[in-house]
Structure 1
Amino acid sequence: MQSILVIDDEINICTLLSTILGKEGYHVEYSLSGANALKMMKERSFDLVFCDYRLKDKEIDGSMIARKVSEEHPSTSVIIMTGYPDVRIAIQLIKSGISDYVSKPFNAGQLVLLAKKTLMRQQTAAASTPSLPSNFPPAAPAPHPVVKKAPVNTFIYGDSRASKDLHEQIRLIASTDYSVIIMGETGTGKESVAHLIHSQSKRKDKPFIAIDCGCLSRELGSSELFGHEKGAFTGAIAAKTGAFVEANGGTLFLDEIGNLTHDVQTTLLRAIQERLVRAVGSTQEIRVDIRIIVASNEDLQQNVLTGKFREDLYYRLNEFTVNVPPLRERQEDMPLFTQLFKQMVEQELSKTCGDFQEELLEALYRYPWPGNIRELKNVIRRLCLLAGSGEIISCRHLPEEMQEKALAPVAVQEAPFDHNVNLKEASRLAEYNKIISVLQKVRYNKSAAARAMNIDRKTLYNKLQSLNILL
């Protein structure tokens, strides 16, 4: 049975979490003080800690608890709870080693999902940790969770033209050893594409190591990438194996590569060119055989022009570029994505939801999805969580911030008929006006419009696209 420790100076919070998580089959204990919690963790181990950020103990808060757990119990995950959300504090906490950060007030379903997700990620990481040769020195605990061992990654193949083009690019590049730059907006699934390239390559049985360069400071960058020797700098209490050596034989994925400092970019360039790495504080060079895949949501070419990114490093990495299309350019895939995400969430929640309401589906298709597939997944999670078992999932379950954009009426003007156009253009205008007329009658419900015109929904979407009707 997996064990959870709750640390909060409010007894009602401790009791609530103990009851909620206990019903899910976890062994739950709690402490009303940070000092007592640290004592409890010395006496027995826990898989997960929920800790309030502001504790009444003198000189002990959630940040200190997270650091202690990271140093003394590296296999334990920490989730910080706070009633005073602050982005700067969240970033500091993530760097200190926490797994997640949740704001109060929260609901039962949210906490259960968070606990399950964190513990599942923990188990997956432990199962996929590659074994190192016996002569490697023990690695120091990471100062923050930058290196993510390859999780079980599910990639959903779409049917749209944009999706098929993407899959063809992946198929072509996967069998090579080319370095790849994956470009795409936030939430489009760039890491999933990197996993897919690795899984179809000749290195698929070797490690896949992912680094979030957005979390790498100037001081930690070289250590995380190339490792360090014991005593190499203040806080280096033990030797650490870098990501290049961990990925030896396999693939190293560097996410948000544009965030690296110039100093780290320079060291990275040499390592990629020579395939030799030297740990910080060491005089010994280690030869590595790895494939490099990087990703960015910024225009790296523009960063080169502004001097933010080294030109020689860019050309070294850019042996092939894969562009991941945003969700708004893959509307034909929406029915597939929504149904598959719903099935995944139902399995995750161990419940069966009803069908999506037609009005809700239309709202999902109309919404611009600035957060792309990641945002869609989170919205489907919310919809399935709020809907009762077997209940039809409706628009009332949408987040408030989505409803205004997704449910707003769309004003579409009918195109004027010009008698001087040729027969082909006249046919096109007549088709345009017919579709607009039907859409207005059914209040822009695309499913109802397709039925009224005796065509399927996919055909209607193709018509809307070819006639440049934007809903």
Structure 2
Amino acid sequence: MKKILLVEDDLTYSRIVKTFLEKNGFAVEASTKVKEAQNILNSGKFDLIIADFRLPDGTGMELLQWSKKEFPQTQVILITHYSDIRIAIKAMKLGAFEYITKPINPDELLATVNESLSSKSKAPEAISDEASPSKPNQKSGSSPSTNFYVAGTSPESEKLEKHIQLVAPTDLSVLILGETGTGKEFISRRIHEQSERRNGPFIAIDCGALPKDLAGSELFGHVKGAFTGALDNKTGHFEAAHGGTIFLDEVGNLSYEVQIQLLRAIQERTIRKIGGNKEININVRIIAATNENLLLQAGEGQFREDLYHRLNEFTLHAIPLRRRKEDLEIFAEHFLEESNQRMNKSVKGFTSEVWEIFLGYDWPGNLREFKNIIQRAVLLTTGPLVEKEALPADLNNPEFAFSSNRPSNTMNQAQDLPSPRDYKSQWIEQEKELIQQVLQDTKYNKSKTARILKMDRKTLYSKMEKYGLN
């Protein structure tokens, strides 16, 4: 019997979910706090963790990161409110198998649990001390199931495709900028497949999911005995990508020390394994991606400016889904076909009401959110067409269509708080207005503006570029 650890602080909700899973043949142990869950995991073996995002002493994200380090083969499903969609997407990038939203649909929960447990036995294939160029490691949680790519028909999409075709045959390093879920890895694969390196390996690394103390070993490898736990020689991702392309997603999350090693690898085209003294020649093309402002981070000392310029020989901008509504139908058809195959169903399409909702929604989670919405809808659909009842309640309510902080329809409504992203958005807007006001008051004297705002000129220039105030 498969063992599940359920971490949920709402006791009523926990009891309902626990009873439902037990009736379906699972052994379930319940917990209400992160620390308590960690103690339970340390004292017994579990096949699956189901954790709510908001917990009394922390978050489900913290438990996810800890469990992936301590018990990497144990799958994690995160429970979120629908207004936490960006958090849920980040959780999947950090290794969560899937997220489900409150109020929980029993069929969706059971299907997700069964799928996570059946895929668990396949997980070791993706974890190897020796990464093979013919079987490159994929980053956890966000690897595309196929090389499906939509060039698109909107003017912005056509411009992006034109730039991809221009840069692909070269060996320039490319920096892809864009929001979470906009398909930056798909763009990088497209570049690789259109390049002279198409027959070489393509290795995608999520830098945000790399443990800080092991990032150097993962990227550059290590020799036996280099540190505690280094029981054998390890080939790093750069060496495994020889002759091909390496994709560094969320590159801004790398520590300063690893940034130095990466800069040296780019400049000298050689690497040295952790604990080793032999220089290894590498022949790789580097494509990096981020949803952060690396130039701003450079101005604040968080990212090396020389590395930024090395990575940014050519810039591409991934397009948010809200700005490429013309392409929704193509994506929907693909995700529908993929979901039918995954769930052994034969849903034919979507009603006009559903399309109206799709076209009116702003898709803050972009393609990842769209894909997950369609998967959920296919699961819940019993007829030939997806109807609006199969969509999350918040999604098909028009008054929430353009709200980035939609209230949740859950038992825990009193405990809800705006997401960290919403607080950050408010802070960014206030900072922009303040800088703009001081610039106007000083007649755009940047030295005086920097003194009044108590920041150096370099930081001011970075913020002006970030907010389009030049």
TM-score bracket for this pair, using the shorter chain length: 0.5 to 0.7
Residues 320 and 257 (structure 1), Cα distance of their counterparts in 2 relative to 1, 3 Å cut: same
Counterpart of 1:397 in structure 2 is 390
Which segments of 5 or more consecutive residues in structure 1 lack a partner in the other structure? Answer: 19-29, 34-50, 70-77, 134-141, 411-471
Deviates more, 1:152-161 or 1:57-66: 57-66
Counterpart of 2:316 in structure 1 is 322
1:315-336 CA-partner distances (Å, limit 9, x unpaired) = 1111111111111110111222
Q: What is the rounded CA distance, in whole Å, between the counterparts of 2:329 and 2:5 in structure 1?
A: 46
Give the one of 34, 41, 46 matched to 1:62: 41
Counterpart of 2:263 in structure 1 is 269
Counterpart of 1:112 in structure 2 is 111
**CA positional deviation for 1:95:** 2.9
Q: What is the rounded CA distance, in whole Å, between the counterparts of 2:5 and 2:375 in structure 1?
A: 31
Residues 409 and 163 (structure 1), Cα distance of their counterparts in 2 relative to 1, 3 Å cut: closer
Counterpart of 2:168 in structure 1 is 174
Letter in 2 for 1:6: K
Residues 268 and 14 (structure 1), Cα distance of their counterparts in 2 relative to 1, 3 Å cut: same
Aligned residues of 1:303 and 1:309 also touching (Cα < 8 A): yes
**CA positional deviation for 1:52:** 9.2
The reply to whether residue 7 of structure 1 matches residue 17 of structure 2 is no
Residues 147 and 345 (structure 1), Cα distance of their counterparts in 2 relative to 1, 3 Å cut: closer
Question: 1:295 aligns to what SS in structure 2?
Answer: strand
Between 1 and 2, higher relative CO (CA 8 Å, sep ≥ 6) is seen in 2
The reply to whether residue 92 of structure 1 matches residue 66 of structure 2 is yes
**CA positional deviation for 1:32:** 8.1
**CA positional deviation for 1:352:** 1.9
Q: What is the rounded CA distance, in whole Å, between the counterparts of 1:147 and 1:334 in structure 2?
A: 23
Residue identity over aligned pairs, in percent, reads: 37
Question: 1:211 aligns to what SS in structure 2?
Answer: strand
Aligned residues of 1:226 and 1:241 also touching (Cα < 8 A): yes
Letter in 1 for 2:331: F
Counterpart of 1:214 in structure 2 is 208
Aligned residues of 1:98 and 1:145 also touching (Cα < 8 A): no
Larger radius of gyration: 1
Give matches, 1:5-404, under 5 Å.
6-8=2-4, 16-18=23-25, 61-62=40-41, 79-82=48-51, 86-96=60-70, 97-98=72-73, 100-103=75-78, 107-113=106-112, 115-116=114-115, 126=125, 152-353=146-347, 355-390=349-384, 392-404=385-397
Q: What is the rounded CA distance, in whole Å, between the counterparts of 2:169 and 2:185 in structure 1?
A: 18
Residues 359 and 12 (structure 1), Cα distance of their counterparts in 2 relative to 1, 3 Å cut: closer
**CA positional deviation for 1:114:** 5.7
Aligned residues of 2:31 and 2:37 also touching (Cα < 8 A): no
Q: What is the rounded CA distance, in whole Å, between the counterparts of 1:257 and 1:230 in structure 2?
A: 27
Aligned residues of 2:51 and 2:60 also touching (Cα < 8 A): no
1:105-135 CA-partner distances (Å, limit 9, x unpaired) = 77344443465478669769949999759xx
Q: What is the rounded CA distance, in whole Å, between the counterparts of 2:141 and 2:395 in structure 1?
A: 33
Residues 160 and 293 (structure 1), Cα distance of their counterparts in 2 relative to 1, 3 Å cut: same
Residues 31 and 293 (structure 1), Cα distance of their counterparts in 2 relative to 1, 3 Å cut: same
Question: 1:321 aligns to what SS in structure 2?
Answer: strand
Aligned residues of 1:179 and 1:293 also touching (Cα < 8 A): yes
Q: What is the rounded CA distance, in whole Å, between the counterparts of 1:265 and 1:225 in structure 2?
A: 11
Counterpart of 1:437 in structure 2 is none
**CA positional deviation for 1:282:** 1.0
**CA positional deviation for 1:217:** 3.9
Question: 2:181 aligns to what SS in structure 1?
Answer: coil
Deviates more, 1:84-93 or 1:174-183: 84-93
Q: What is the rounded CA distance, in whole Å, between the counterparts of 2:246 and 2:32 in structure 1?
A: 34
Q: TM-score, normalised by structure 1?
A: 0.66
Residues 409 and 269 (structure 1), Cα distance of their counterparts in 2 relative to 1, 3 Å cut: closer
Q: TM-score, normalised by structure 2?
A: 0.66
Which segments of 5 or more consecutive residues in structure 2 lack a partner in the other structure? Answer: 7-17, 80-103, 404-470
Q: What is the rounded CA distance, in whole Å, between the counterparts of 1:370 and 1:86 in structure 2?
A: 21
Question: 1:237 aligns to what SS in structure 2?
Answer: coil
Letter in 2 for 1:249: G
Letter in 2 for 1:87: M
**CA positional deviation for 1:59:** 9.2
Q: What is the rounded CA distance, in whole Å, between the counterparts of 1:236 and 1:249 in structure 2?
A: 27
Question: Aligned pairs, how many?
Answer: 357
Q: What is the rounded CA distance, in whole Å, between the counterparts of 2:282 and 2:217 in structure 1?
A: 16
Q: What is the rounded CA distance, in whole Å, between the counterparts of 1:399 and 1:126 in structure 2?
A: 34
Question: 2:397 aligns to what SS in structure 1?
Answer: helix
Question: 1:61 aligns to what SS in structure 2?
Answer: helix
Letter in 2 for 1:172: L
TM-align CA RMSD: 3.8
Question: 1:283 aligns to what SS in structure 2?
Answer: coil
Question: 1:400 aligns to what SS in structure 2?
Answer: coil
Counterpart of 1:436 in structure 2 is none
